């Protein structure tokens, strides 16, 4: 299964290298190698493709982590306020100093993202008997409230347009030198794979986790931080990309079941594939213009969310 997903990623990545506004094809490297071809390839197409793979894998794994932390399958960073909080962090960075050093901006945005996730988890704590549906509902409204707050602040400083760009991600502006932050997301993705067992135990609740000898509080904090770092690097590089973290883990669960030690690699691969596919579709739909991947992902994501809700209706109603 993982092999098949890996093959899919490779195929999509090759296609992604071949599609763009300029007429460059990979074959030209062999038939008519010249400066222009290599420049387009290495300055634009390759960085974009790598960024897509890293962001997709990271977001899918972040979604999986968030689902374990919140103990609910219908959440992901985009629907619980993590992305909204990260966008707020971008706004803060732009207000404090538009030319802020990248690492400082990254730290600020990550901190905001972590606080957003913590706020969500703290509200969840206050709901003792939760129905499966109240969790995503609280998350969505919290996300909307944070977004409105940001919009309010942004409107005072003429930053509304910029805020909208951060809240709706796409990869059209990715060049060499402007995506490297995503390697941090890749590191977190690997770390999540190594710790997959422990996070699975976290997903079974505090008592159970403590019983089997896990430091529950420490691992929760680590999980929140990992989600925040992934979200921040993606939001800074491309903007918020909704629903990858919701779609992919649920798809993988339907395929291989609940054992996430086996599933998490597949989650990362499918995340990369989904991101590549969304971006490719966005590039081809109104070529040579582009539709932002966030737009397409939100359409696919809300459709699938509705299907999941309706299928589980008897159980949830």
For residue 270, give the nearest of 83, 64, 74, 79 by alpha carbon: 64
Instruction: Work out the burial of residue 96: count CB atoms within 10 Å of its CB; fewer than 13 is exposed, 13-18 middle, 19 or more buried.
Output: exposed
Taking the complex as a whole, the smallest distance from the CB of residue 190 to another protein amounts, in Å, to: 32
C-alpha–C-alpha distance, residues 16 and 183, integer Å: 19
**Range in contact with another protein (rule: CB under 8 A) among 64-72, 125-133, 169-177, 214-222:** 125-133
Helices H, strands E: what count in the chain?
A: 16, 0
Q: Residue 288 CA to chain centroid, in angstroms? A: 26
Binding mask 210-249 for another protein (x = CB under 8 A): ----------------------------------------
Q: Phi then psi for 123, rounded to 5 degrees?
A: -65, -40
Q: E-strand spans in 37-144? A: none
**Range in contact with another protein (rule: CB under 8 A) among 84-92, 147-155, 186-194, 260-268:** 147-155
306 near another protein, judged by CB under 8 A: yes
Q: Closest CB to another protein among 13 and 247? A: 247
137 near another protein, judged by CB under 8 A: yes
Question: Any idea what the Cα angle at residue 221 is, between residues 111 and 207, rounded to 5°?
Answer: 155
309 near another protein, judged by CB under 8 A: yes
C-alpha–C-alpha distance, residues 106 and 33, integer Å: 38
Q: Closest CB to another protein among 42 and 289? A: 289
Which residue in 118, 140, 193, 256 binds another protein (CB under 8 A)? Answer: 140
Q: Are 34 and 98 in contact (CB under 8 A)?
A: no
Which residue in 21, 26, 43, 141 binds another protein (CB under 8 A)? Answer: 141
Q: Closest CB to another protein among 19 and 195? A: 19
Would you tell me which residues interact with another protein (CB under 8 A)? 123, 126-131, 133-134, 136-138, 140-142, 144-145, 148-149, 151-152, 155-156, 164, 285-286, 289, 291, 295-296, 298-299, 302-303, 305-306, 309-310, 313, 316-317
């Amino acid at each position: 299964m993982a092999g098949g997903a890996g093959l899919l990623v490779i195929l999509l990545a090759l296609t992604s290298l071949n599609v763009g506004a300029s007429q460059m094809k990979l074959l030209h490297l062999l038939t008519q190698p010249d400066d222009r071809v290599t420049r387009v390839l290495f300055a634009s197409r390759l960085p974009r493709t790598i960024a897509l793979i890293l962001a997709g894998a990271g977001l899918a794994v972040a979604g999986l982590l968030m689902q374990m932390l919140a103990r609910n399958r219908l959440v992901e960073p985009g629907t619980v306020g993590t992305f909204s909080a990260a966008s707020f962090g971008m706004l803060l960075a732009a207000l404090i100093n538009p030319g802020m050093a990248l690492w400082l901006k990254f730290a600020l945005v990550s901190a905001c993202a972590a606080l957003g996730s913590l706020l969500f988890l703290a509200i969840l704590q206050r709901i003792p008997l939760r129905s499966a549906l109240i969790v995503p509902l609280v998350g969505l409204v919290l996300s909307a409230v944070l977004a409105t707050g940001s919009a309010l602040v942004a409107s005072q400083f003429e930053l509304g347009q910029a805020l909208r760009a951060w809240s709706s991600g796409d990869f059209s502006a990715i060049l060499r030198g402007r995506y490297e932050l995503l390697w941090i997301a890749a590191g977190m993705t690997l770390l999540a794979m190594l710790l997959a067992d422990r996070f699975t135990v976290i997903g079974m609740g505090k008592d159970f986790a403590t019983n089997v000898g896990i430091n529950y509080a420490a691992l929760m904090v680590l999980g929140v931080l990992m989600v925040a770092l992934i979200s921040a690097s993606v939001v800074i590089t491309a903007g918020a990309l909704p629903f990858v973290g919701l779609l992919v883990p649920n798809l993988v669960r339907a395929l291989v079941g609940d054992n996430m030690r086996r599933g998490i690699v597949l989650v990362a691969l499918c995340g990369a594939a989904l991101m590549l596919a969304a971006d490719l579709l966005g590039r081809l739909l109104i070529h040579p213009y582009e539709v932002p991947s966030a737009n397409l992902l939100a359409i696919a994501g809300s459709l699938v969310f509705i299907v999941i809700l309706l299928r589980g209706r008897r159980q949830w109603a």
